[in-house]
Amino acid sequence: MPDPRDGFIQGQTVFLTGGRGFIGTHLVKRFLSRGNCVTIFDNGRRDSLRYSKLDGAKGLKVIAGDVMDRQALERALGSPSYVLHLAAIAGVSLYFKQPVLTMEVNYGGTQNILSCLKDRSDLRLFVGFSTSEIYGPEAYQVREEDRTSQGNVAERRWVYAVSKLAAEKLGYAYFWEYGLPICYLRPFNVYGPGQVGEGAISLFIYRALRGLPLRVTGDGSQVRAFCYVEDFCDAVDACLARAESVRGTSFNLGDPAEPITMRDLAEKIITLTGSASTIEFVPHQGQDVRYRSPSIEKAARALEYKPCWSLENGLRATIDWFRMTDPAEPR
């Protein structure tokens, strides 16, 4: 990746929905370190910011609000040069429990922020966060131009994928009709310190450090390629610095170098934590994704994206954070 001292945005105004979350907090820290002015708009449902020591930092403004409240969103916006839309309902167990809220927030919240921005001539880039789920149950080395697949419409498992795909398509519609400068990122299993939301690695580490059984769905043969959060944020930084050239496109962002089964991941975390935990196999809620790994060739060309964190080093850093911070159980 390019040297972070050269070529990344500095002295700009940045607005983040969902900025108190896991990825948002890592990005906010980076933006503030380069003298950018940052506004967070977030309802606080998942709060990684509380562990970052960034509250009250120079250049940071935090506004409590919900993306479903369009008027509050418009009042909070100001005149940012960059908008990152991270606010969403995520986590398999959550969107199984609240499929209506998932659809409303992920699509309706996106509609609200896009409609607030469509007439702003000073906006350099809107970055929307989509998901690897849009590629369906079999996603092996998928490319951005590959067909999306959301499975049976009657299967609850795909509520999140459909809501995110619809939101991404809406972003493109605003680009085509209004010229809104959009770019969409499709994260593939991002993990790391500060992940207080539901995720396989955060849940496994939390339970391993307490000697609790690690719950693996199905037979544990599902394969994932995990991406450390710092590598992911490098790509977001590079995307903002190349605002003009990335408009009207999408990027897969992940790390396909070390795909691993969920069973092997659980065993690896037990070993790295020195835990006495056992593995408990439990039924999966609805249809599962058998294989998920991206092709990142497009991001490598356009963003000079090259993940550098090995899975083991990333896991060790994340375990250290969980030990030091002792957060509540990820949810």
> Which value, in Å, is the radius of gyration of the alpha carbons in the chain?
19
Could you list the beta-strand ranges (E) of 3-67: 13-17, 37-42, 60-64
Could you tell me which residues come within 8 angstroms of residue 251 by beta carbon, excluding any fewer than 6 positions away?
Answer: 144, 183, 184, 185, 186, 235, 239, 298, 299, 302, 303, 305
Question: What would the two tokens of residue 249 be?
Answer: 């496109």
Please, are residues 290 and 137 in contact by the beta-carbon 8 Å criterion?
A: yes
Extract the tokens encoding 78: 């100001």
* Alpha carbon distance 94, 198 (integer Å): 9
Gap between the terminal Cα atoms of the chain: 32
Q: Are 61 and 38 in contact (CB under 8 A)?
A: yes
Give the Cα separation of 291 and 84 in Å (integer): 28
Structure-derived torsion over alpha carbons of residues 21, 22, 28, 33, reported in degrees to the nearest 10: 150
- Per the annotation, the verdict on 160 as an active-site residue is yes
**Which residues fall within 8 angstroms of residue 81, CB to CB, at 6 or more apart?**
9, 12, 13, 14, 122, 123, 124, 125
Annotated active-site residue in 82, 160, 228, 291: 160
Instruction: Dump strand ranges (E) for the chain.
Output: 13-17, 37-42, 60-64, 82-85, 125-129, 138-142, 182-187, 190-191, 214-217, 223-224, 227-228, 249-253, 260-261, 279-282, 291-294
Amino acid found at 229: V
Residues belonging to the active site: 160
